[in-house]
Amino acid sequence: MYYLWVFLIGGFICMLGQVLIIYTNITSARILVTFVIIGVLLQAFNIFDPISSVARAGINVPIIGFGASLAKGAMSAVKAKGLLGAFTGGLEATAGGIAAAVVFAFIFSLIFKSKTKN
């Protein structure tokens, strides 16, 4: 049953992105940046976890989740390591995703070629 919530909340967040595209004409990079910042803010004010417990993938799969784990990493590392944690925590928490994106992009760009649009 929680799949319904995943679908509805996930779909709604993506639709907000589309609203930005239609009404402000902004491009991919700006949309992604906007949503990452939203994620960081949600986590900073501790709103992310309550939403996440209902929405699950609906908010973790959108790039908001990426922003939230950056902030979450920084916040919990600050607790353990002090100031240094603020610098190491964020990237540590998201290292998996970034590294995966980089390595897959590298491999596939060696294998494939970009094709023209029709």
Partner 1 sequence: MHIHQTVIFRHKPVIIGSYSIVGPKEGKGNFGPYFNYVMKDDCFGENTYEKAEKKMIQSAIVGAIENAKIKPNDINLMLAGDLLNQIISSSYAARYFNFAYLGLFGACSTIAESLAVGASLVDGGEFDTVVCSTASHFSTAERQFRFPLELGNQRPPTSQWTVTGAGACVIANEGNGPRITMATFGKVIDWGIKDVNNMGAAMAPAAMETMIAHFKDTDTTPDDYDLIVTGDLGKLGSEILIDLMEDNGYKLGINYKDCGQMFYTRNQNTLCGGSGCGCSASVLNSFLIKKLREGEYKKILFMPTGALMSTTATQQGETIPGVCHAIVLESDVNSDQIKENKKRRNKKV
Partner 2 sequence: MDNELKKRNEAYNKYVKAKIPKTKAWPSLFNSFIVGGIICCLGQGINDLILYWFPNMAQQTAWAYTLIVLIFLASFLTGIGVYDKIGKFAGGGSIVPITGFSNSITSSALEFKHEGIIYGICVKMFTIAGPVIVTGVVASIAVGIIYLFI
Residues 4-23 that bind partner 1 (CB under 8 A): 21
Q: Of residues 25-54, which lie at the interface with partner 1 (CB under 8 A)?
A: 25, 27-28
Distance CA 19, CA 25 (A): 9
- Least CB distance to partner 2 at residue 74 (A): 3
DSSP state, residue 27: -
Nearer to partner 1, 1 or 29 (CB): 29
- Least CB distance to partner 1 at residue 54 (A): 28
- Least CB distance to partner 2 at residue 28 (A): 5
Closest to 48 in 3D by CA, of 20, 67, 30 = 67
111 binds partner 1 (CB under 8 A): no
110 binds partner 1 (CB under 8 A): no
Assess contact for 23 and 52: CB atoms under 8 A. Answer: no
- Least CB distance to partner 1 at residue 11 (A): 17
Distance CA 26, CA 56 (A): 28
Distance CA 33, CA 26 (A): 11
Cα three-residue angle 71-53-64, rounded to 5 degrees: 40
Q: What is the contact surface with partner 1 in residues (CB under 8 A)? A: 21, 25, 27-28, 114-118
